[in-house]
Structure formats: structure tokens, C-alpha cells
């Protein structure tokens, strides 16, 4: 899916990495003739690219950015106490990831386009909530779960 460029950093070799609003990094090397990106070499042309989208395959794979850390969690819900808002399509804010931890039973987890995936979340298979992507949950019988929210750690 597309993610806007938020900033740029250099890796240990001096190659440029675009940091996307989702929290993922993506190399944007100038390697002609196959990857001609002369714009990445100068600060003004690089800065002009901020806000433009890149395709993020890590979001497509539901990969929680490794450097992100948990900063809050919901109370534990059960089938009868799931807030209505979680059973309808909703999403997290830019840069906020969620992890659905099921402690007992099973939960159906439905993710809308552009990721479009339906899965069953249980104690062994937590559900990863990708920022800004609409999703909802539905209990499969009795279930207990909570949602933990992750973001980039404060500098």
C-alpha cells in the first residue's frame, strides 16, 4: 500500500533511507542505471519529496516496525463487553500500530482494502493492526482479549 514519506535518514554506509508515516524505512539509493534517483543526493530536492507516497510492502505484510514500543493498552474485553466501535470498521491514527492479544478463545479479525484479509486471532496468533487501515473484530463464541498500541519511541 502507499505511504507518504515523512523524513530521510542515512544508514551506516551513507545510503539514504526514506522514513514513511507508517514507521517503516525504505532505501532510496541513487544507483544508476537501474535506480536513478539523483534527487536523493541534494537536500532541497530530497526535502521536496516529503509527503509523496512510496509503495510499502512491509505494511502489506502486516509487519510491526521493530523499533516501535507499546505505550498503552485497552482493558480486557469479553464477548459481551466488546465496545461497539471495535465491531464496526475503524482505524488507528497515522503511525499507531495495534496488537490484538487474545488471552482465551478466538476472535475473527477482518481487515478492509487495501490489505483485505480475514483471519482468526487466538493466543498463539496475535492480530496486527496496521495504521489507518479500516478493520473490525467479531467474537467466535466466548473470547477474552485486549489491544496494545505501539508507536515510535520518543527521542
- Rounded CA-CA distance 94/21 in Å is 7
- Rounded CA-CA distance 117/149 in Å is 20
Interaction of residue 150 with Zn ion, rule CB under 5 A: no
Q: Judged by CB under 5 A, which stretch of 7-15, 55-63, 70-78, 136-144 contacts Zn ion?
A: 55-63
SS (H, E, C) 81-126: HCCHHHHCCECCCCCCEEEEEEEEEEEEEEECCCCCEEEEEECCEC
Nearest-approach distance from CB 125 to Zn ion, in angstroms: 21
Interaction of residue 22 with Zn ion, rule CB under 5 A: yes
Nearer to Zn ion, 86 or 115 (CB): 115
Burial class (CB in 10 A: 0-12, 13-18, 19+), 86: middle
Nearest-approach distance from CB 148 to Zn ion, in angstroms: 19
Interaction of residue 133 with Zn ion, rule CB under 5 A: no
Interaction of residue 24 with Zn ion, rule CB under 5 A: yes
- Rounded CA-CA distance 49/39 in Å is 9
Q: Please give the size of the binding site for Zn ion, defined by CB under 5 A.
A: 6
Nearer to Zn ion, 102 or 129 (CB): 129
Nearest-approach distance from CB 52 to Zn ion, in angstroms: 15
- Rounded CA-CA distance 120/138 in Å is 10
Given the rule CB under 5 A, which residues bind Zn ion? 3, 22, 24, 56, 58-59
Amino acid at each position: 500500500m502507499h505511504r507518504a514519506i515523512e523524513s530521510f535518514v542515512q544508514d551506516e554506509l551513507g545510503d539514504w533511507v526514506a522514513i514513511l508515516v507508517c514507521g517503516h524505512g525504505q532505501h532510496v539509493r541513487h544507483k544508476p542505471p537501474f535506480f536513478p534517483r539523483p534527487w536523493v543526493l541534494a537536500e532541497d530536492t530530497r526535502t521536496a519529496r516529503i509527503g509523496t507516497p512510496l509503495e510499502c510492502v512491509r505494511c502489506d505484510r502486516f509487519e510491526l516496525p521493530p523499533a516501535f514500543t507499546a505505550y498503552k493498552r485497552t482493558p480486557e474485553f469479553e464477548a459481551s463487553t466488546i465496545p461497539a466501535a471495535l465491531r464496526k470498521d475503524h482505524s488507528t491514527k497515522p503511525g499507531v500500530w495495534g496488537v490484538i492479544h487474545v488471552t482465551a478463545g478466538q476472535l475473527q479479525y477482518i481487515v478492509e482494502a487495501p490489505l483485505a484479509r480475514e483471519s482468526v486471532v487466538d493466543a498463539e496468533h496475535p492480530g496486527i493492526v496496521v495504521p489507518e487501515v479500516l478493520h473490525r473484530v467479531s467474537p467466535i463464541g466466548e473470547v477474552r482479549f485486549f489491544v496494545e498500541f505501539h508507536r515510535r519511541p520518543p527521542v
